[in-house]
A and B are shown apart, each in its own frame.
Chain A
C-alpha cells in the first residue's frame, strides 16, 4: 500500500502510459462522504490534444482510476483517462 501526501502532488507533471506529457496537476477532487478520490484536475500542456477528455474551461479532469503510479511523474493509463 502506497500513501502519498496530497501537497506533495502539487506541481507534478502528468504523463500518459504512451509517454505523452498531458499537463500539470492543479487539484484533486474527492468525495468526502465515501472517502474516495474521484478525479485529478489537470492543466493541459499546450501541445496536448484534449479531444475526448472531460473539460471545464481550461481544466481537464482525469479519473483517478486511470492513475498507474505516482513517483516523479503521475502516470495515467491512456485508455482509462478518457471517460
Chain B
C-alpha cells in the first residue's frame, strides 16, 4: 500500500509493550537502496531515555512492527532505560 511520507509526520510511536517512545519527526531515506532507512523520532518520552544535546533518536526501519494510526516498534530490552511499567 502506498503512503505519503507527510502522513507519517507527527505520528505517535509506541513499543509493543505499549510504552510511548515519541513522535515521528522525519524519515531517513536510503537513496541507493531505495528504501526507508529509519524513522527520526523526537518529542521523546523522558522516562524512557535521556538525551543530552540531541533532539531525537533514529529508529531503524527493521525494528518497526507496524504502522497504522500509530507506529509500533519492537521492544528491545536494553535499548530503553525502563523496560516495564512499575
Interface residues of A (CB under 8 A from B): 1-7, 9, 27-39, 41, 64-65, 67, 69-70
The residues of A that contact B40 with a CB separation of less than 8 Å are 5
The residues of B that contact A31 with a CB separation of less than 8 Å are 1-3
Asked if B28 contacts A5 (CB within 8 A), the reply is yes
Asked if A70 contacts B26 (CB within 8 A), the reply is no
Q: Count the B residues whose beta carbon is within 8 Å of the partner chain — how many?
A: 25
Main secondary structure of the interface of A (DSSP, over half): strand
Asked if A37 contacts B35 (CB within 8 A), the reply is yes
Pairs across A and B, CB under 8 Å, 29 listed: A1-B30, A2-B30, A3-B37, A5-B27, A5-B28, A5-B40, A7-B9, A7-B25, A7-B26, A9-B29, A27-B5, A27-B6, A28-B5, A28-B27, A30-B2, A30-B3, A30-B4, A30-B27, A31-B2, A32-B66, A32-B67, A33-B1, A34-B35, A35-B62, A36-B35, A36-B36, A38-B2, A39-B2, A41-B4
